[in-house]
Every structure is written in C-alpha cells, then in structure tokens.
Amino acid sequence: MTLTGVVGAGVMGAGVAQNLAQAGHDVVLVDNDPDAVTKALSTIELNCRTSRLLGGPDLDPDAVLARITAGTDLAPLADAETVIENITENWELKRALYLELDQVVRADAVFVANTSAIPITRLASLTRRPRQFVGVHFMNPVPMKPAVELIPGHHTSPEALERVRALLTSMGKKAIQVNDACGFVSNRVLMLTVNEAAFLVHEGVADAETVDEVFRSCFGHPMGPLQTADLIGVDTILYSIEVLHEHFADSKYRPCPLLKQMTDAGLHGRKTGRGFYTYDAPAAPSPVAAAGNGSRPSAVTR
C-alpha cells in the first residue's frame, strides 16, 4: 500500500485517515492544531472499537492507529503519493495551505481536495500541478459511507483521475463522477434543503424535531435535514452556503441568519455536543425546541 497524506484532523479528516488506515494504507495525518490531532486519534480509536456495533467491520484499533503517523508538521507529507486536503471551507485558508503544500509535496504527487462546494478548477489554480489535482467529496461519517463524488478539474489528467479512482476503490468507495461546478451535485441540492429547513425554524413555522419528522415520516428519509446539519456540522453548512451564495450571486443561496447565530455561538452539532439537537453522547441525540424569530435553539430538551 502507498503512503497517503491527510491534511486537516477535524471530523472529515479523521474519518478519511481512519478509512485509509483500515484499508491497509500508511497515513500521515497533519493539522496545525495539536489538540485537533489528539482528538482525531481518540475519535479513530473509539470508532474502531464501536465499528462492529454500528454495522461496520470488526476493527483492531491498535492495528489501525499503527498505520497513522500524526502531527502538526507538513514535512512528513514530502513522501506521500497522494495528499487529501480536508480543512475548513474557507478560500483564504485553503489558498494559504495549497501554496505551502505545493512547496513541500513531491512533484509527481496528486492533490485531492475534499471540499463541499469550492470548484476544483479554482483550487487547482493555486498550485503548479493542475493536471494532478482532483476533487473528491467524501460523505460523513467517511468510513461508513459507500460512495463519494469524484470531480475532475478543467486540467485534471486521465492518469491522475484514475489514480484517485483506484485509491477510492481500495477504500471501498464507489466513485460517482460529476463535472466541476460550485457545490457539485450533492451540495447544490442539499445545502438549499438544509438552509430552507433552518428558515422554517427561524421563522417559527416548526421546531427542528417537527421539520425532521416530516422528512422521515412523509418522505421516508432516514434522517431529517437538520439532523443532517448536526452530523455534517452547522458551521460547515454555513460556510458551504456562503460559498454558493458568493459564487452564483443568487439570492436563493442567502444563508439563514439562524445558521450564522448558531455558528457564532459554537452550536456546531454533534462535534460540539449542541446544534439543532443536544447530544449526551456521540450517537444519542435529544431534540431541542429551536425557537424562531432569530433566537438560538432552546436548551430545553424534549
């Protein structure tokens, strides 16, 4: 197996690193926040221990973690054949990172952007290797989701695309190829749905649990849009919608003020223990009555 770099040790980065390691790849996991690195390793260990209980494979946490080298220094990425970037959906942060990565990572390596909305061609323009730049939109939780969006940029070479497709296959992923566009397919639709669901709560039409119940009971969705927002991260949802709004300059992507308020308040969903729901444990949601008219979700659980 090859050495793969993973940059960003948040929810998505930890999931990507775990998925790679349990598939037998050696992984270098890097984040500029040492606390994020520590938390990611703890999360991976917990995920491995509970994998079988959640319907996944029986994993040995020690064996998975033994394949992951984690730290805050980009230098170990120099030997990676592929580097998967998973940092916050913020253009300036990504710009600064890619300029640095381009200097550190070997010239024949492929960059993979795990982005929710930013066009791949735009990100590739930050590097000296646009032909070796591919977009992959992983779904959360990464180790348990069987499919991804695979997005070539304007200059992506067939060879780079096939290298990434092969890597995804080794991770047990079905790669669904789509053309490069802001938000791709999934988030072009999903973010509008989540945003409108947040507006329903913001306007007092219904609370979060009721909105989600309509989607679960009437449409047969396993999760409602606001449960999905908590799983992805309310802050990530907001940043993705802001990217869509900026890119298309279309008012239909105007972010709901409640998402902005929740992001500012640190109510980011499962990863912080509070979002549209409260969480006593990672897998135990308790719905909150999220009041409308711009107020933040109530602390009173049902």
Active site residues: 116, 137, 149, 187
Tell me if 171 is assigned to a ligand binding site: no
> What pLDDT, on a 0 to 100 scale, did the predictor assign at position 2?
81
The answer to whether the beta carbons of residues 239 and 112 sit under 8 Å apart is no
Residue 22 to residue 275: CA distance in whole angstroms? 30
Could you tell me which of 298, 243, 201, 283 has the C-alpha nearest to residue 88? 243
Tell me the per-residue pLDDT of 36-48, one tens digit each, with 9 for 90 and over. 999 999 999 999 9
Q: pLDDT tens digits, residue range 196-243?
A: 999 999 999 999 999 999 999 999 999 999 999 999 999 999 999 999
User: Which domains, ranges and CATH numbers included, belong to the chain?
Assistant: 3-177 (3.40.50.720), 186-287 (1.10.1040.50)
Q: Supply φ then ψ for residue 69, to 5 degrees.
A: -105, 120
Residue 108 DSSP code = T
- 247: tokens are 């890119």
Determine if residue 11 is labeled as part of a ligand binding site: yes
**With 50 as the cut, is the pLDDT of residue 287 above it?**
no
SS3 204: coil
Question: Above 50 in pLDDT, residue 187?
Answer: yes
> Rounded CA gap, 184 and 192, in Å?
13
With a CB cutoff of 8 Å and minimum separation 6, the contacts of 22 are: 48, 57, 59, 64, 143
Region of poorest pLDDT, from 27-41, 49-63, 239-253 = 49-63
Please identify which residue in the block is written with the tokens 């775990």. Answer: 18
Q: What is the pTM of this model?
A: 0.87
pLDDT in tens, 105-117: 999 999 999 999 9
Report pLDDT for 281: 56
Annotated binding-site residue? 9: yes
145 is in an annotated binding site: no
Which of the four pLDDT bands, split at 50, 70 and 90, describes residue 283?
Answer: very low
Asked whether the beta carbons of 232 and 89 are under 8 A apart, the reply is no
H or E, element range at 54? none
Is residue 109 within 8 Å of 82, Cβ to Cβ? yes
